């Protein structure tokens, strides 16, 4: 597969790789996500607003590290139509410093989570963490789900915590450590779609084996994580194979560099590209869309869902 260089704003010249064809007849994923604190309907596309309480995230690092600023941003996301919020306190950007300790991660999360449950009690909140201790504290404080970007690779006890609380669990595909997973160190695949599905299936088996109910699980192919630009586009094209596993699929293309590889836009110029990628993922069967800018994605998804439902 090949892409135009970053300076080109023309369409990518993508060639089909026979190894990436859909392996099984696509079927519709579950139309609801059951979590211990409630159910999120997926009859319509669900937009998940990103809330980074970090000093170093690639798109908005430092803007919402202060709890008051984070809560104002949460209110904006909800007002724009976010169906759910995903709060993260540890960046996965390439070249980041040492891992954040549990204590520091929780120091950033605690005041935000507490106020979110008070101000937006009906809005599901997931916490983006790879640590079981942080997950346990967050779920006890009111979070509905855990978004594990390591897919249980780094701390399988995250599944134990989710099982205990009956919480939702997002299993995202990635490879390597927290500091490596957004880079290309592990971006070598025999057939990227098949390999991603196989590795996610293994994560599901770990979760089920530790007591997580299947209806609590959402799958995320990890766009931008351990994948080169052309591999991300192959994964987007191959989404029906992942959807065919029967669990809701979340995608997170928001402002990622694989979009800039085609459009040439800087991070702050990728919201239109993000909305386009989300619309394509919706047509491929994805149900949840994790993004920074809610409104343009909602509009794009409305059209994609109308097409998909026609």
- Residue in 210, 216, 290, 298 annotated catalytic: 290
Neighbours of 81 (CB within 10 A): 14
3-state secondary structure of 171: strand
Residue 252 — φ and ψ, nearest 5°?
-135, 70
3-state secondary structure of 88: strand
Closest CA to 95 of 207, 22, 172, 178: 178
Kindly state the greatest CA–CA separation across the chain: 51
Q: Is 131 considered catalytic here?
A: no
H runs (alpha helix) in the chain:
67-79, 102-119, 132-140, 157-165, 192-209, 229-237, 239-243, 257-263, 271-283, 294-309
Distance CA 176, CA 199 (A): 13
Q: Is 290 considered catalytic here?
A: yes
Distance CA 108, CA 74 (A): 15
- Residue in 216, 256, 270, 298 annotated catalytic: 256
In the beta sheet, which residues pair with residue 148?
A: 171
Burial of 9: CB neighbours in 10 Å, binned 0-12, 13-18, 19+: exposed
3-state secondary structure of 33: strand
Give Cβ neighbours of residue 179 (< 8 Å, ≥ 6 apart). Answer: 92, 94, 95, 96, 98, 99
Closest CA to 297 of 284, 308, 277, 306: 277
Pairing of strands 217-220, 250-251: unpaired
Distances (CA, A) of 85 to 99, 112, 120, 157, 241: 23, 12, 10, 23, 27
Active-site residues, by number, are: 256, 290
């Amino acid at each position: 597969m090949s892409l135009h260089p970053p300076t080109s704003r023309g369409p990518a010249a993508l060639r089909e790789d026979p190894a990436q064809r859909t392996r099984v007849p696509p079927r519709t994923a579950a139309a609801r996500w059951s979590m211990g604190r409630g159910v999120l309907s997926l009859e319509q596309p669900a937009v998940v607003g990103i809330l980074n309480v970090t000093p170093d995230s690639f798109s908005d690092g430092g803007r919402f590290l202060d709890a008051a600023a984070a809560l104002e941003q949460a209110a904006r996301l909800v007002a724009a139509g976010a169906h759910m919020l995903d709060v993260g306190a540890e960046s996965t950007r390439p070249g980041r410093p040492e891992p954040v300790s549990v204590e520091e991660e929780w120091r950033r999360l605690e005041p935000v989570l507490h106020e979110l449950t008070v101000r937006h009690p009906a809005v599901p909140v997931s916490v983006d963490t790879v640590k079981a201790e942080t997950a346990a504290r967050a779920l006890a404080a009111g979070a509905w789900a855990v978004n594990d970007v390591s897919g249980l690779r780094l701390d399988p006890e995250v599944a134990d915590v989710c099982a205990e609380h009956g919480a939702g669990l997002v299993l995202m595909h990635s490879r390597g450590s927290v500091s490596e997973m957004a880079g290309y160190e592990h971006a070598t695949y025999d057939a990227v779609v098949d390999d991603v599905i196989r590795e996610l299936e293994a994560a599901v088996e770990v979760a089920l084996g530790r007591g997580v109910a299947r209806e609590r699980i959402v799958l995320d192919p990890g766009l931008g994580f351990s994948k080169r630009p052309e591999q991300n586009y192959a994964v987007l094209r191959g989404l029906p194979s992942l959807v065919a596993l029967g669990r809701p699929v979340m995608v997170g293309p928001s402002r990622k560099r694989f979009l800039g590889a085609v459009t040439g836009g800087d991070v702050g110029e990728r919201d239109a590209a993000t909305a386009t990628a989300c619309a394509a993922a919706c047509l491929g069967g994805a149900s949840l869309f994790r993004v920074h800018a809610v409104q343009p994605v909602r509009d794009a998804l409305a059209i994609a869902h109308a097409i998909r439902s026609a």
